[in-house]
Amino acid sequence: MKHTFDRLRLSSVHRSFANAEGEHVAALKGLDLDIERGEFIALLGPSGCGKSTALNCIAGLQPLTGGEIWLDDKRIDVLPPERRGFGMVFQNYALFPHMSVLENVGFGLKMRGTPKSEIEKRARAALQLVQLVGHESKLPGQLSGGQQQRVAIARAIVIEPPVVLMDEPLSNLDTKLRIEMRAEIRRIHGGLDRATIYVTHDQDEALSMADRIVVMKEGVVQQVASPKEVYCRPKNLHVARFMGYRNVLPCVLERAAGEAVEVSASGVHFVGTPMEALESKNAVIAIRPDDLVRAESGTHNAFEVHVDVVEYGGRDSLLFVTAPFGKLWARVEGEFAQGERVTLAISTERALVYRQEVAS
């Protein structure tokens, strides 16, 4: 029977554990999230941020300390993992080495007491969806890493789950194969009409695959938004740093100018976009290296820099430069020479202004 649903709801989900000193540490703090059928959700953040804990709580592999999980009008956090009916793809694939590909894919159905003829029919259909027809009789050891990953995905989807859970499934693959598998996973997801919840620390994976990204830090959700929103308009400085805004420059707020603000950094004036309420004159500008461009002197938001280090990148160069307000990175089209003085500029929309971090 196909398991369909309209909404998976996480309500104030909390998970804590006792550390070596016997102190209770929160790995997940009050996670609230609604996931619709057909959505592809990426849980994104650095190691230890709580994303895998969230996935394991949804799967039932870790109990909740507080909160509830609902699948439509059915509360499921009180159910054991096998009764939740979710499919899960692990980082290490977890295939049975002595079983054929077809047997691996059909194992979950066999454990559910599905008739043998139905198992083979559905397993072959799942292998067709992941484009592994012709490999049914092979053992996992005879397959490439990407093929093994496809078998793991087929095994997860063959039970026709309402939700497919994926925990860093591409981390063991090389770069070329990871890029290929991103598109493949997205294609498979599109053919299922199911929700996929995908854990990753890789920003490119999340941006290229997800409908919505959930950025996490120390067990707390920092932003839930579309890939474009997270990339272009990080909600706070943590999200900005994680999404590649390597240049964070202290500045002083001069005045508001409509939807923009004027700030100064060591005498250099910028007009930037405030991303949160600025509670004092002390602020920071966050600039992604890729958003800086070579410009003429006198251009809006322009400043002169000394090129300290050049890393040639083909169409562009990664520069480490000294500006009047400090060191920064810039990825700029063209070729440059160490010791050169050039003028760089940043648009108002891409100079993001945040509150200054308070030292803990």
Distance CA 263, CA 353 (A): 9
Q: What is the pLDDT of residue 91?
A: 82
CB 171 within 8 Å of CB 204: no
Q: What is the pLDDT of residue 174?
A: 87
- Pair of tokens at residue 145: 């890493």
Q: What is the pLDDT of residue 261?
A: 95
Give 294-344 pLDDT, tens digit per residue.
Answer: 999 889 999 999 999 999 988 899 999 999 999 999 999 999 999 999 999
Q: What is the pLDDT of residue 359?
A: 59
Q: Which residues lie closer than 8 Å to 147 by C-beta, 6 or more apart? A: 132, 135
Q: What is the pLDDT of residue 73?
A: 94
Q: What is the pLDDT of residue 177?
A: 87
Report residues of the chain scoring pLDDT below 50.
1, 360
Q: What is the pLDDT of residue 3?
A: 57
Name the region of 117 (left: φ>0; alpha: ψ -120 to 50; beta: rest).
alpha
Nearest residue to 182 (alpha-carbon basis) of 204, 197, 154, 152 = 204
Q: What is the pLDDT of residue 211?
A: 97
Distance CA 116, CA 114 (A): 6
Q: What is the pLDDT of residue 1?
A: 40
Q: What is the pLDDT of residue 357?
A: 79
